[in-house]
Amino acid sequence: MPSFRAPRGTYDILPDEQPYWSFALKTAAETAKRFGYGRIDTPMFEPTDLFERGVGDATDIVQKEMYTFEDHGGDSLTLRPEGTAGVCRAYIEHGLHNQPQPVRMHYIGPYFRYERPQAGRFRQLRQFGVEAIGDGSPNVDVEVIELGWSYIRSLNINGTSLRINSIGDSECRPAYLDALREYYRGHIDEVCDDDRQRFESAPLRLLDCKRTQCQGIGDAAPKSTDFLCDACDAHWASVIALLDGLKDTYPDLDYSIDHRLVRGLDYYTRTVFEIEPENAAGQSTLLGGGRYDGLIEEIGGPPTPGIGFALGLDRIISEVKSREGFVPPESGPDVVIVHLGDEAGLRASALAAGLRDDGLGVLVAPVGRSMRAQMRYSNSMNARYALIIGDREIESAEGALRPLRDNGEQEAVALNVQALAKALRGD
């Protein structure tokens, strides 16, 4: 047993895994660019109040999952559990309402939640998220959903499904919450203990309960879409019509209206949505988001609508790995220099420096091993070529360049950077 291990709920991403991450991150940046979402980076910690007020005091995130600490100056700070509150804080702080609206932004990075670790659930998680702030029209809701769907498709992840709902706004939600409490009051003895506790503080979350005993009760509960005010209802109808319009491009955009979808953060208004993978089980939601028209005002800005989503990259990577159709790009150096003897060792090191400076990937095989061991090493590094230098090659000033990945002939190449670079590039 090693004395130190990565903390529970965290893991290392070793070099072999990196091609999957590069692929997912590069595709995220490209997708964001196609939709005009510029990159924003915010600090990894923020004042604790920002999350208490933004995400909501009664949420699991704020109550149980935040990594909060007091710094040496006595300020309470929290490792960001999610990205939206920080992006909205930045929007206010930098006066981004003066720019053309909506301001479209994306972010990629680590987030921290003290959750019970299990498959697909980590304490340091990584998200790709987008926010479009300053435009309340339903077209932006659907643009954001389209972006998420398009990203997932670009990664060759098929069979996903979209669930969508509208949870109204501060105008119509109170009446809905009353109806919900009224309904659950009649079932209070049948629901689980957690739900009994949430009954007063977070009645919407009762709908989200995953316990078997609460399923039938949740299914038969009043639906938020039946309580929408006129403005929310018109918005909802437009979202659905616009979503149907995406089917020409994405025939498999298979969405369902789920009246039990409420999301676990308090800032949502109107549209909320989630994307699940095929064969969804347990902690597998790939993406979640929604509109948050009250959030910016809640954290001290002018009334400003916003909408966005975040997608769990850890979960996306395991989906990518479990699917066919994505092979990580061939990695490995262009050449490993195999060298026998002191003189060859010196030449190997000097040539490696010159070739690397020329832009090629070069490894020098470990010193003091037999030719056969060095060739084995070259193959295990997945190199394109081995360049063999021994006494004979030093004397003739020509090294033996042997292709390793393709069946080509070994050739003699002058031992200088220019000739070797040319041969390695196949010019």
- Site residues (vs ligand HAM, CB under 6 A): 82-84, 113, 115, 120-122, 125, 127, 129, 131, 265, 285-290, 292, 308-312, 314-315
Can you spell out the DSSP letters for 256-278? EE-TT---SSTT-EEEEEEEE-T
In terms of CB distance, is 286 or 351 closer to ligand HAM?
A: 286
AA identity, residue 18: Q
Taking the C-alpha atoms of residue 27 and residue 34, their distance in angstroms, rounded to an integer, is 10
Q: Which helix (DSSP H) or strand (DSSP E) does residue 342 occupy? A: helix 342-357
Structure tokens of 169?
A: 């706004």
DSSP 102: S
Q: Which is nearer to ligand HAM, 184 or 255 (CB)?
A: 255
Per DSSP, the three-state class of 357 is: helix
Min dist CB 207 to ligand HAM, Å, is: 15
Q: How far is the CB of 10 from ligand HAM (least distance, A)?
A: 10
Task: Provide, rounded to whole angstroms, the least separation between the CB of residue 131 and ligand HAM.
Answer: 6
CA distance 144 to 130: 8
DSSP letter at 118 equals: B
Residue closest to ligand HAM when measured from CB atoms: 312
Q: How far is CA 209 from the centre of its chain?
A: 25
CA trace torsion 357, 362, 364, 366 (10° rounding): 140
The number of helix segments (H) and strand segments (E) in the chain equals 15, 16
What does the alpha-carbon distance between residue 173 and residue 270 come to, in Å, rounded to a whole number?
A: 10
CA atoms within 13 A on the CB side of 369: 14
Query: Cβ 29 to ligand HAM, closest distance in Å?
Result: 17
Asked if the peptide bond before residue 81 counts as cis, ω within 30 degrees of 0, the response is: no
For ligand HAM, give the closer residue by CB, 284 or 377. Answer: 284
Closer residue to ligand HAM (CB): 83 or 333: 83
| CB-nearer residue toward ligand HAM: 7 or 408 | 7
Report the nearest approach of ligand HAM to the CB of residue 194 (Å): 18
Q: Which is nearer to ligand HAM, 150 or 343 (CB)?
A: 150
Q: How far is the CB of 251 from ligand HAM (least distance, A)?
A: 24
Report the alpha-carbon distance of residue 371 to residue 13 in Å, rounded: 33
Write down the least CB distance from residue 147 to ligand HAM, Å: 12
Nearer to ligand HAM, 61 or 242 (CB): 61
Cβ 80 vs Cβ 112: under 8 Å: yes
Residues 6+ apart with CB under 8 A from 201: 58
Residue closer to ligand HAM, measured from CB, 168 or 289: 289
By beta-carbon proximity to ligand HAM, the closer residue of 120 and 218 is 120
CB of 306 to ligand HAM, least distance (A): 8
- For the chain, the C-alpha Rg in angstroms (whole number) is 28
Closest distance of CB 112 from ligand HAM, Å: 9
End-to-end CA distance of the chain: 51
Residue 274 CA to residue 239 CA, distance in Å, equals: 15
User: Of the two residues 158 and 416, which places its CB atom closer to ligand HAM in the complex?
Assistant: 158
Shortest approach of ligand HAM to residue 165 CB, angstroms? 14
